[in-house]
Every structure is written in C-alpha cells, then in structure tokens.
Amino acid sequence: MSTRVITVRASHSAADLSEAAREGAQAIMRGQLVGFATETVYGLAALATDAEAMRRLRKVKSRPDGPFSLHIADAGEIARYVQDIPPRARWLTAKAWPGPITLLLETGGKLADANLRKIKGLHDQLTSDDVIGIRCPDEPVARAMLRAVEGPVVAPSANPAGAPSPRNADDVLHALNGQIDLLIDSGPSRYGKDSSIVRIDRDGWSLVRKGVYDERMLGNFMRKKIGFICTGNTCRSAMAAALAKQILAETLGCRVGDLRAKGLEVFSAGVFASNGNPATTEAIHAVRSHGADLSHHKSRKLTVDLIKSCDLLFCMTASHVAEAKRLAGDAATTICLLDEAGDVPDPIGGGMDVYERTAERLDELVRKRIRECVL
C-alpha cells in the first residue's frame, strides 16, 4: 500500500495547517509512522511508548537498538525529561530553540517527570549511557503536531540507513513509499542540512556534529553576559557586579577568574559615568565583607555597543532603565530594574553604615536575580 500524503504549505490557511498537524498527531497516537518536515530535514515520527511502532521504525532505519532523538514542541518540555539542566543548556535553548540544534544531556539515571518514570522501559528507550537527545524543531506544522500528541515522540531523519537525509517530500517517498503510513508534505526544508548536535554537561560542552550552526555560533549562544547599571559606576552597579561574580563563582564551585570559561561574563557601567574612576573606598570595604573584590574596579560609561553585547541589564533606578532603553533602540537585550519593587538609592555621600546596608540589599537582590534569570 502506498504512503498517504497530505500536502500543505505555509501560504495555506491556518485551518489547513491545523488540520494537517491534527491528522499527523492522530496517526502517531494510533502507532503509525509519520514523515514530516522540520526546518533542517524531513523526520520520521513514532510514539516511543508504542512497541510495534518502534519495531517498525527500527526496521525502516535498520537500527536494531539504540535511542532515537526525542522531539518536543516547546523548549520548556525539556524539564520533563532532564531534571538537572546545566546552565549552558538553559542559555542555549532560551536563545536557539525552537531551532536546528539537537541537544545531548545526561538524565541522572531517571526521567524528571514522575509520570514518565512510571512507563516501563521508557528511560532505556530514550537514552544511551544515560544521555538523551532532544530536538525542538522550528516548523509550525511539526510543532503543532508534536504538541497534540499525548506521549513522547521520537523522530530520526526519514531515510534508510546510509542514505542522505531527505530535504523534501519527494526524497522521502522515493526511499520509503509504502514503508511509512503518512507523509506531511510541507515543501522543501528551510535549511537543507542536518541539525547541529551539541553535548552539554557540568564540565563543559562539545560539538558532536556540525550542522546549521558551527562551533563559533553555538559558543555565542552559550554565553551569558550580565550588566549592572547605575549613574556613575563607582558605587551601586560596581558593588552589584562584584557581588554577582562572587555569588556565581560560589554557586558553580569555581573561582571568579574562571567564570568566563564557564560562559559567564559580568560587568557594570554608568549612564553618566566617566571612564577609569575607581570604586569609592566605602564600596570596596562594604563588599569585601561579602567576599567580593572591588579593588581593581574602573568605571565605564554605558554605550550602545555594550548594551547590544549583553543578555541581561539590571538597573538601579527607573531613570536608568529609561536611559538604557533609549540607548538600546531595537537591541534584544533584556533591560529591567534590579529590584522589581523599586529603586535602589545611591549611597554616595553616606557613611559606612549606609554602604553596608546597600551591600546587604544588593546581595539579596543579586542572589534572587541569579536564581530567576541566570542559573
């Protein structure tokens, strides 16, 4: 019997796209094999919990054992499978998913979601040596289809072993007509090349397979640059940055000087700062009691290029937020108050007790923001 084909294009109505995704999802849940387009190549979907579907998939792929990559509709679903997600993986998925990256992560011996752990053999089905491969494709019909399936979906490329990955529906039909149940023809894949495969663990990351993204681009995705902004960059922002470096180093179990190697960069600047001024003596002493070092600090002025180079910009007051956003223009940087409840007052001109209270408040705020936005 020939493979049934549904043809749908981005120019079609939302109803047509939705119907194609619905039919694909229903076929997968019936235990059928479904070919579908991603932004890289065409994949072949099967329900991981359906033994017969997995047997057929292994036959088509000539792969008697070993896992296939899990496909998810939304980046947040990764937390159902991996409990201890490394920071670099969080930063990468936040910037590049959905997108052409397959991510390899350790599960720690079990799937994160308690309901998934109840499914006998699922962990072994999805992992090899405790490593799971996860993909979040950037193609609307594929994502809608995956979102509608009740259960984990695996999807290798829709080609026999040893053959090139298919870039369009004709490639799939030429190789697999009659061997799969349904093919959703969404036209040629956008990139026409395989996804990049990246392995990330607590010790670092490696590029397993170069695809759409090369090592340099992936490295940029996996960096997190955080800025703290005040007026003159000799008190509040400098103190916050020094505290952030110390807190991050403690959390990651490394030295402050090793943060860059971990993919983290922390800086401070002032909207009206002069370049090269040291931190105030009071600021240096106030953060020292928290284990942070400001003795080598030199102030710098906030610039457009500095804003565009970073991911997160935490400001001390609403006026700093306004000025930073004015400078940023259409930059994608997230700019917000460090304290969501209001401004952090300037301690300049106050005594040592004022600086110490400011350092205490900054330490609390920075720890909260690191938990929420960074790690």
Tell me the whole-structure pTM to 2 decimals: 0.82
Q: Which domains does the chain have, with CATH numbers?
A: 4-220 (3.90.870.10), 223-374 (3.40.50.2300)
Q: Hey, how many other C-beta atoms are within 10 angstroms of the C-beta on 255?
A: 10
Express each pLDDT in 183-228 by its tens digit. Answer: 999 999 999 899 999 999 988 899 999 999 999 999 888 889 999 9
Is the model's pLDDT at 375 over the cut of 80?
A: no
Residue 296: predicted pLDDT:
95
Band of residue 331 on the pLDDT scale cut at 50, 70, 90: confident
Residue 157 predicted with pLDDT over 90: yes
310 burial (CB, 10 Å; 0-12 / 13-18 / 19+) is buried
Question: N- to C-terminal Cα distance for the chain?
Answer: 52
Half-sphere exposure of 276 (CA within 13 A, CB side): 0
Q: What is the average per-residue pLDDT within 17-39?
A: 97
Q: What percent of the chain has pLDDT over 70?
A: 100
Q: Which two tokens stand for residue 194?
A: 């395989």
In sequence order, which residues have a C-beta less than 8 Å from that of residue 237 and are 6 or more positions away? Answer: 228, 229, 230, 268, 269, 270, 316
- Taking only the tens place, the pLDDT of each residue in 100-141 is 999 999 999 999 999 999 999 999 999 999 999 999 999 999
> Looking at residue 15, what is its pLDDT?
95
Q: What angle do CA 176, 211, 216 make, to 5 degrees?
A: 170
287-329 residue pLDDT tens: 999 999 999 999 999 999 999 889 999 999 999 999 999 999 8
pLDDT tens digits along 46-104: 999 999 999 999 999 999 999 999 999 999 999 999 999 998 998 899 889 999 999 99
What confidence tens digit (pLDDT) does each residue in 172-184 have?
999 999 999 999 9
- Is residue 1 over pLDDT 80? no
pLDDT at 202: 81
Q: Provide the pLDDT for residue 374.
A: 79
The pLDDT value recorded for residue 220 is 86
Q: What confidence score (pLDDT) does residue 94 get?
A: 86
Residue 358 has pLDDT above 80, yes or no: yes
**So what's the pLDDT on residue 151?**
95
pLDDT at 106: 97
**Cα distance between residue 297 and residue 303, in whole Å:** 18
The model's pLDDT over 158-167, given as tens digits with 9 standing for 90+, comes to: 999 889 999 9
